[in-house]
Each structure stands twice: as structure tokens, then as C-alpha cells.
Amino acid sequence: MNLDGTDRRIVEATQSGLPLVPHPYAEIAAQLILEESEVIERLAAMQARGVVRRIGVAPNHYALGMTSNGMTVWEVKDDVASNLGAEVGQLDFVSHCYLRPRALPLWPYNLFAMVHGSDQTEVEVKRQAILSLLGPACLGSDTLYSTRILKKTGLRLARKGAASSAEKARGEG
């Protein structure tokens, strides 16, 4: 889906977050020489089209004391994986949850759910709650704990005319 120039400028201005000021949309509008109402309308239209998924607060779980991060992985029966995955994704302690294809014979897991806790014991208690929800449909599981953070940002648009890192690696940029 293509963005017009103004939409692209709005996405670039907001992709790292909204300014922490009383009127963030007015601040962005002033930077882009637009009206505040136009910024709000265009963001709403991009959200309606699915270009922008959501606008919201993203708490830093580390700053909140949630320093143990466990990607719980589950081998769930295929005929119920989608429904159970949706239920797991609704748990208030699961930050993101998705289905992925298995990579047999080495990787039987098809459901992934990220859980955060103040320590591994707390993550394990939450993992047990997921296990109870999955019940007999769960054929196996594991938890992969983070040991370091490699990236902590969402998608960022490349500046128009700038070569991507992949293009640079191939010698194209």
C-alpha cells in the first residue's frame, strides 16, 4: 500500500513515538506545517486502511521491574491451535502471541507467547497458567529466556532515496 507524501511525512514524524507534550498532534502539525486536524484525520484514515495498526502507549517493561523475559513455545494440536492461541493472546500477562509453522523434526512448536516477569519464577507461574488453559491439546512446551536485548524498536521507514541496509550489504547503495 503506497503512502502519499504527506502521509509518509506523518509516519516518519511519529514512528519513534508521539512527543510527550500536552498537544502532541499540534506539535507534529507545526513541525510538518500542517493543521492539527489534518494530522489527526490522516492518522485515523491510515489506521482504518490498516497502514497504522494502533496508536498507544508502549510501557518499558524493564523500567517497570519486569526483567525476566520468556518466549514460551508450545506444541499444540493443529485443529485447536488457532482458537487456543487467541485465548492465550488475551491473557493480560502475554505481550504478544502468534502461530508459526513447525520446523520438524527439530522444532515441533507452533504457538509462541511472550511472557514477562520480575524473575524466572514469576514467568514460570505464568507459563503454568498457559499450560492449564491449553490442557490436553498441549503436546509439549519450552521457555526461551532472553539473555540480552538486540533491538527494541518497531518498523522504521527508510528516508526516500536512502539505500536500505540490505541494499548496502549487496553493494547496491
Quick: pLDDT tens for 10-53.
999 988 888 889 999 999 999 999 999 999 999 999 999 998 88
What's the CA gap between 45 and 51, in Å, rounded?
9
Q: CATH code for 68-145?
A: 3.30.70.920
* Residue ranges, CATH 1.10.10, the chain: 5-56
Which regions of the chain carry the CATH code 3.30.70.920? 68-145
H/E stretch holding 169: helix 165-169
CATH entry, 5-56, from 3.30.43, 1.10.10, 1.10.20, 1.10.287: 1.10.10
Q: pTM value?
A: 0.64
Mean pLDDT of 59-69: 74
Listed residue (129, 162, 126) closest to 145, CA to CA: 126
For 149, the grid coordinates are: 536485548
pLDDT of residue 147: 83
